[in-house]
Each structure stands twice: as structure tokens, then as C-alpha cells.
Amino acid sequence: MSDPETGERLDDGLVLWFPAPRSVTGEDVAEFHVHGSRAVLAAVMEVLRQLGLRLAEPGEFTRRAFLNGKLDLLQAEAIADLAAAETEVQRRQALRQLDGELGSLYQGWSHRLTRVLAHLEAAIDFPDEDLPREIEDRVLGETEKLIAEITRHLADGHRGERLRDGIMVAIIGPPNAGKSSLLNRIAKRDAVITSPVAGTTRDIVEVAVDLQGYPVVLADTAGLRDSDDIVEQEGLRRALQRAEEAEIRLFVFDTRCPEQVQGAWTWPGPDTLLVANKIDLIAAPADAPTHSLSRLRGRVGEGVPLVLTGEQPNAVLPISALTGEGIDALLAALGERVAQTCRVEAPVLTRARHRQALEEAALSLRRALSAALPELRAEDLRLGLRSLGRITGTVDVEDLLDVIFRDFCIGK
Ligand code: GDP
């Protein structure tokens, strides 16, 4: 590889030529494989610049691939997700979307809706006659079916979006129970300052962790207790709000004060795990965690029988955030709960943008059902079709492109 002007040798490398249209962008593409040092890159880039070439904008390759019909918008977004994926499950979800799973689902709906619209428009074109009954029935029947399918798809509990953004786990409990210490244990680093003075975590601290392939955002919250301190009250308000919003809650309490657990039942149900901390302070130098568990059961059972009823034999997870005892079992239980929260079989929507467009589509179709005139019904169906088209990028998405490709990194 040498400078075409001076003939100076720059590097030994490999050049791959992908002629249009069978390249990744659909255009002629040349790939230079060179030794990656800064000096080699600088020399090669300078020569290329003199030839009139420039660096690509972030996301430009993907954008060109989209504009040349190599990808739909969902696949373009999947590339961004793949590049940003931090955990195994996120990677898999992005790959499924890149394979076109979601795109085929939405395109299928678009095709069916186009057919319904075509039938209706054909019927409208015979103005002298009333709309044939059977066409009307078919239009209404298929529209109803589409609404039902879209609605079912929307009612997915936001699983795909959660997987993209991380599953929220709020650590709650009374002050000094060891919430910050537990978060540090799990995050394996000192993300939160722990302190023996009650009420130090006045705001919410979040740490993103990879839990068995799932992206989890752990939020440490202010201790739940009544306080006159105005800052602490605000912390408490936020803690309660975060606990409400979270998909899963870890209620941490001091093993020596089992009566603290009563508060946990503000959030009953399987999504609150009870964590009995500081077992090192009650257990004998026991090596067997089960020993601590049975002792704990005895203690907790005296005060709060509700917690340890027969149906919930594992309701309490005994740990010591200080020594690390019980943490693996806690993580296993939490991982299982997280996996249940995000279990997906059918393709799920992954972005608020898709959700919004689908909600609009369903709304238009519902309006179509109750429209008084066939012409109005056709117009509503057309609006529904446009909303679906905006997801995959088959109709007017010019205004969306900058927003979508802005978040890409250079070279994608
Ligand atoms: P938070 O207010 O619930 O966040 O509680 P912290 O994590 O700040 O802990 C309060 C105090 O309890 C600190 O002094 C910790 O070192 C101590 N602590 C936390 N977990 C344990 C534990 O498992 N065993 C013992 N002995 N002390 C703990």
C-alpha cells in the first residue's frame, strides 16, 4: 500500500472490494485492513483524504444501508442495540430483532391491512350501489382481528423495553439494615458509602449489574422510617416511589429485629424478596447456612408468623452483607425472579417508539370500526397503515431518521 503521489510505501495490508449492490450498504464498498497503529492509520487516512474521501458520520453505514433498502428501521435499531448490548440476554434480543423477527410481524400486519383497505376502496368505487354486505363483513372482521393481535402484542408487560433498559430492582428497608452494604456486595465494588449513622443514603443510588446475563439496575434507597428531617423525608418519598416503580424489591431488615418485616407487606406478592441481613451477629460461627436459617426462622417466627407460613418456605433469604454468607443464594433467587419477569417467547417490542406507533395504529383501527361512512372508514384504515409503516420505515420517516441514527457510534 503506497502513496499514489510520492510512491512512498505506507503499510502492507489487505483491500477487500464489495461491488454494489451486494455490499453491506448496497453501494460499492472497499475495506482496508491495515496494521492498526496510530501512525499507519494517520498516513493511510491522509492519502484517502487527498483522494476526496472523508470519515463516516456516526451511524452513516447503517443509515445508507437503510436508505438503500438493505435493512428496515427495526433492523437498523437492532444494530445500535447490538453495539450497546452489555449482557448476554440483551445481545440475543438485539440479534433476534436484526434477524427481522419483529419486522416480519409488523409487515405482516401492514400487508393484511393493505388488503382490507383495497377491498374497501374497490367497493367505494361503485358509488351507485350500497357496499356489498360480505365485503363490509370481511373488512370489519379482519380489522377486529388486527386490533386484537396488536393489543395482545402491546400487553407484553414492557418486557422487551425492560431488557433493553435494565430490570429495576429496588433495595428497600429500614435505616441501617445494611441496604448499602448489600448493594456494594452485589456490585463487588464500593458504589455506595456505608455508614453506621442512620439516614445517610438520602437519595437514590443506582448500579447496573449483569445478573446471569440479564441487565439489572439495582437502586439503593433511603431507609424507610419516619423523620422530621426535610431532606430525609424527600429521600423517603423517592424511596417509596422507586419501590413502587421497580419490577422487583429486596426488603432488607436486621435479623435481630424481625418486627421490621411488617412494613414489607405494603408490597405483598412474589415480587418482594425478604432479606434477613447481619446473620453473622446471631449465628454461632456456623459454617452451614441452613443452621443460620433455622435459627432465624425460629426468631422471625415468634414475632411475625405471617412471613414464614408454609406456602412461602423460602420467603426469607438470610445473608450477611459483611461476611458474604448467603449472597450467592440471594443472587440465585433474584436471578430466577428476574428471568421470570422477562421471559419472552413471541417477539416483543423493544422501544417506546414502536409502542407509540402501535398504539396509534390500534386507535385508528378502532375509529375505523365505528366510522359512519365507508370513506371515513377507509381514511382511518389508511392512518393505521401509516402508523405501522413508521415503525419499519416504509412510509414518511424523514423526520425520524436523525433521531434514530444520532445515537450510533462512528463506524456503524
Ligand atoms: P443502610 O442504611 O440500610 O444502607 O445500612 P448500611 O449498609 O449503611 O449499614 C449500616 C451499618 O451496618 C454499617 O455500619 C454496616 O457496616 C453494618 N452492616 C451492614 N451489613 C452488615 C452485616 O451483615 N453484618 C454486620 N455485622 N454489620 C453489617
What's the pLDDT at 392?
86
pTM for the structure as a whole: 0.67
Q: How far is the CA of 194 from the centre of ligand 1 (A)?
A: 7
What's the pLDDT at 234?
74
Cβ(175) – ligand 1 distance below 6 Å: yes
CA-wise closest residue to 331 among 341, 343, 319? 319
Query: Which own/partner pairs from 392-400 qualify as long-range (CB within 8 Å, at least 24 positions apart)?
Result: 392/72, 392/73, 392/74, 392/103, 392/106, 392/107, 392/110, 393/66, 393/72, 393/73, 393/74, 393/76, 394/72, 394/110, 397/73, 400/73, 400/353
Q: How far is the CA of 1 from the centre of ligand 1 (A)?
A: 63
**What is the mean predicted confidence (pLDDT) over 141-160?**
90
Atom of ligand 1 nearest to the CA of 195: 8
Instruction: Please check whether residue 2 is in contact with residue 15, taking contact to mean a CB–CB distance below 8 angstroms.
Output: no
Residues contacting 222, CB < 8 A, separation 6+: 175, 199, 201, 202, 203, 204, 232, 235, 236, 238, 239
For residue 143, is pLDDT > 90?
yes
Cβ(355) – ligand 1 distance below 6 Å: no
Atom of ligand 1 nearest to the CA of 321: 23
Cβ(280) – ligand 1 distance below 6 Å: yes
**What is the mean predicted confidence (pLDDT) over 332-339?**
88
What's the pLDDT at 121?
82
What's the pLDDT at 264?
54
Beta strands in 108-247 (DSSP E): 167-172, 205-211, 214-220
Name the band, by pLDDT with cuts 50, 70 and 90, for residue 146: very high
The per-residue pLDDT for range 63-84, each reduced to its tens digit, is 999 999 999 999 999 999 898 8
**Which residue has the least CA distance to atom 9 on ligand 1?**
178
Name the band, by pLDDT with cuts 50, 70 and 90, for residue 301: very low
Atom of ligand 1 nearest to the CA of 184: 7
If one residue of 181, 256, 275 were mutated to test the ligand 1 pocket, choosing by the most ligand atoms within 8 A of its CB, it would be 181
What's the pLDDT at 288?
38
What's the pLDDT at 269?
57
Q: How far is the CA of 291 from the centre of ligand 1 (A)?
A: 22
Instruction: Please check whether residue 352 is in contact with residue 259, taking contact to mean a CB–CB distance below 8 angstroms.
Output: no
**Which residue has the least CA distance to atom 25 on ligand 1?**
278
Q: List the beta bridge partners of residue 217.
A: 168, 208
CA 374 to chain centre: 40
Q: Is 112 or 123 the better-scoring residue by pLDDT?
A: 112
What's the pLDDT at 277?
93
What's the pLDDT at 155?
87
What's the pLDDT at 322?
92
What's the pLDDT at 133?
77
Q: How far is the CA of 177 from the centre of ligand 1 (A)?
A: 6
Q: How far is the CA of 178 from the centre of ligand 1 (A)?
A: 4
Q: How far apart (Å, rounded) are the C-alpha atoms in residues 96 and 86?
A: 16
What's the pLDDT at 64?
94
Cβ(179) – ligand 1 distance below 6 Å: yes
The pLDDT mean for the chain works out to: 81
Q: How far apart (Å, rounded) are the C-alpha atoms in residues 370 and 202?
A: 52
Name the band, by pLDDT with cuts 50, 70 and 90, for residue 399: low
**What one-character-per-residue DSSP string does 206-228 give?**
EEEEEETTEEEEEEE-------S
The per-residue pLDDT for range 260-296, each reduced to its tens digit, is 776 555 555 567 888 999 998 885 544 434 434 444 4
Q: How far is the CA of 322 from the centre of ligand 1 (A)?
A: 7
What's the pLDDT at 302?
40
What's the pLDDT at 42?
93
The per-residue pLDDT for range 14-24, each reduced to its tens digit, is 999 999 999 99
> Quick one: what percent of the chain has pLDDT higher than 90?
31
In this structure, the number of other CB atoms found within 10 A of the CB of residue 18 comes to: 15
CA 7 to chain centre: 52
**What is the mean predicted confidence (pLDDT) over 127-143?**
79
What's the pLDDT at 344?
64
What's the pLDDT at 212?
85
The per-residue pLDDT for range 302-316, each reduced to its tens digit, is 433 333 333 443 468
For residue 192, is pLDDT > 50?
yes
What's the pLDDT at 309?
34
What's the pLDDT at 129?
64
What's the pLDDT at 244?
80
Q: How far is the CA of 196 from the centre of ligand 1 (A)?
A: 7
If one residue of 193, 194, 220 were mutated to test the ligand 1 pocket, choosing by the most ligand atoms within 8 A of its CB, it would be 194
Residues contacting 48, CB < 8 A, separation 6+: none
For residue 354, is pLDDT > 50?
yes
Instruction: Please check whether residue 53 is in contact with residue 371, taking contact to mean a CB–CB distance below 8 angstroms.
Output: no
The DSSP output letter for 2 is B
Cβ(185) – ligand 1 distance below 6 Å: no
Q: How far is the CA of 372 from the centre of ligand 1 (A)?
A: 67
What's the pLDDT at 400?
60
**Which residue has the least CA distance to atom 17 on ligand 1?**
178
